[in-house]
Structure 1
Amino acid sequence: MLIRVIDLETTGFEPPAGVCEIGWCDLTHDGESWTVGEPRSMLVDPEQPIPPQTSAVHHIVDTDVAGQPVFAEATREALFDEARMRANHFVLVAHNARFERQWLTPEVTGEAHWICTYKAALRLWPEAPDHKNGTLRYWRNPPGLERALAEPAHRAGPDAYVTALVLREMLALASLDDLVLWSAGPALLPRCTFGKHRGEPWSAVPESYLAWVLRQQMDEDVLFTVQREIRLRAVAGR
């Protein structure tokens, strides 16, 4: 089995922004434990200028990507290489996979299953200070992390490596099937993120406020979480 963690650096938050770097890091299982490989990355020609405000995040500039492969060529190396062809089961992973999947569509990835480590972290570690990739790195402090491979942050290879180590921590607590299942649906938010109950666990939010939330035009993560909380209270007879 092969699990491949993917990270993209881009020229913006959504298409038609282009990809300027792709990084990946594999997890393999020997029948007893998961092993995290070394991260790999490649620069990509986004076929458009890189805005200075995004260069300020990942520090990739136009001269870095001049003459590099375009996205379609890069994904053939990062996703459809010999390792994938040999794997009996292939799973793709990203932290906040909703972002990467804007570019890594089914036309690119085929029928590969996805794991979103952000959604999984919300369920496994609701008590975390927050659920950003970098925060989980320092909060969980996964054994074996090599700082030289994990830095600099906001570059595709190091970020994929950190996510892979966080994922290994998750696989000690939950099955691969559960992680895939949780990732396929909306995020389960541990705390209210808005309004007068901001920061409170949903279990402490009054029922009248939950009912009010359901009448608003909220995003799917909020509605999913509130509906689940209401069902839990009904079962508990609250």
Structure 2
Amino acid sequence: MQLNLKNPIVFFDLETTGINIANDRIVEISILKIDTDGNEEVKTMRINPEVPIPAKTSAIHGIYDEDVKDAPTFKEVGRQLATFMEGCDIAGYNSNKFDIPLLAEEFIRAEVDFDMTKRKFIDVQTIFHKMEKRTLEAAYKFYCDKNLDDAHSAEADTRATYEVLKAQLDRYSDLKNDMEWLSKFSAHNKNADFAGRIIFNDKGVEVFNFGKYKGKPVTEVLDTDPGYYGWMMNGDFPLFTKKVLTNIKLRNAFGKG
């Protein structure tokens, strides 16, 4: 089944130095762009993370410091990538929890103004887990009856994710071929930030989604425990989470003015 697209959509996958959204860096990115007419364009590039790649991480994706020492940094290519993704909905595998938050961090560090909050996000892993609960390799075999050769290569994983989503739409009649519907279906929570540290509750109010104030409205916590803001701003939280928190703080302050 071909995707019913109102906007172009990009499928993307990252290979990184690790799994810490706030501190780790991209070493390879692959983006498969599907236009509304079905035309495909792929962009894959290695990125110099400007930090050493841990040996245990290199053992997984096969990318070593030597492989990226002459590659461009994200700051050098960030604007090019943003232009390529401009106006597109965004899909990936485990992308809502990892790839999108980490990519947002890289854009902020590179000082590239790329607003991803207006996009529709489709996480193929979430759809898969809700339907079958397996890994990408198993999903590819299950839905496409193919073996995923070259797994943990960004481009192979990216293209497999695209094929899996199309096969999911063919298999499940209760899935709608609509990116807005799929975006809502593949989301665990309605996040205010990409990492899911702050989410919207069922009343549309931003609440903390972790720690001692989990479930508490952010504005309420900022009023009763103003030091919590400083603790988060100085803590090991993603830059985008801090940006969202600051925006809520400023909005709350001006709303009282």
User: What does residue 19 of structure 1 align with?
Assistant: 26
User: What does residue 100 of structure 2 align with?
Assistant: 101
Q: Provide closer, same or farther for how the CA distance between residues 180 and 91 of structure 1 changes in structure 2, counting only shifts above 3 A.
A: same
> Over residues 114-155 of structure 1, what are the superposed CA-to-partner deviations in whole Å (9 max), with x where a residue is unaligned?
1111112233x2xx3x4321111011116xx7x8xx641101
Structure 2 counterpart SS, 1:68: coil
Give aligned pairs, total: 172
Structure 2: segments with no counterpart, 5+ residues: 1-6, 191-211, 216-257
Shift of 1:72: 3.0
Distance 1:176 1:169 in 2: 15
Alignment of 1:174-189 (within 5 A): 174=176, 175-186=178-189
Shift of 1:71: 1.8
**What is the percent sequence identity of the aligned residues?**
27
Please point out which of 5, 18, 29 is paired with 2:11.
5
Query: In structure 1, what residue type is equivalent to 2:54?
Result: P
Note if contact 2:17-2:54 (Cα within 8 Å) is conserved in structure 1.
Answer: yes
Matched, 1:70 2:56: no
Shift of 1:38: 5.7
Note if contact 1:50-1:62 (Cα within 8 Å) is conserved in structure 2.
Answer: yes
Shift of 1:36: 7.2
> Over residues 32-70 of structure 1, what are the superposed CA-to-partner deviations in whole Å (9 max), with x where a residue is unaligned?
xxx473643100011100111001001101111012111
User: What does residue 117 of structure 1 align with?
Assistant: 124
Note if contact 1:38-1:161 (Cα within 8 Å) is conserved in structure 2.
Answer: no
User: CA RMSD of the aligned region, Å?
Assistant: 2.8
User: What does residue 54 of structure 1 align with?
Assistant: 57
Structure 2 counterpart SS, 1:69: coil
Distance 2:29 2:44 in 1: 6
Shift of 1:112: 2.3
> Over residues 70-112 of structure 1, what are the superposed CA-to-partner deviations in whole Å (9 max), with x where a residue is unaligned?
123333333422xx45xxx510111111111232228564132
Note if contact 1:25-1:36 (Cα within 8 Å) is conserved in structure 2.
Answer: no
> Over residues 145-188 of structure 1, what are the superposed CA-to-partner deviations in whole Å (9 max), with x where a residue is unaligned?
7x8xx64110111111111111222344322221111233349x
Structure 1 counterpart SS, 2:29: strand
Query: In structure 1, what residue type is equivalent to 2:102?
Result: W
Query: In structure 2, what residue type is equivalent to 1:20?
Result: V
Which is further off, 50-59 or 172-181? Answer: 172-181
Q: Provide closer, same or farther for how the CA distance between residues 136 and 39 of structure 1 changes in structure 2, counting only shifts above 3 A.
A: farther
User: What does residue 45 of structure 2 align with?
Assistant: 42
Distance 2:137 2:81 in 1: 23
Q: Provide closer, same or farther for how the CA distance between residues 70 and 179 of structure 1 changes in structure 2, counting only shifts above 3 A.
A: same
Structure 1: segments with no counterpart, 5+ residues: 188-216, 221-238
Matched, 1:156 2:157: no
Structure 2 counterpart SS, 1:103: helix
Structure 1 counterpart SS, 2:151: coil
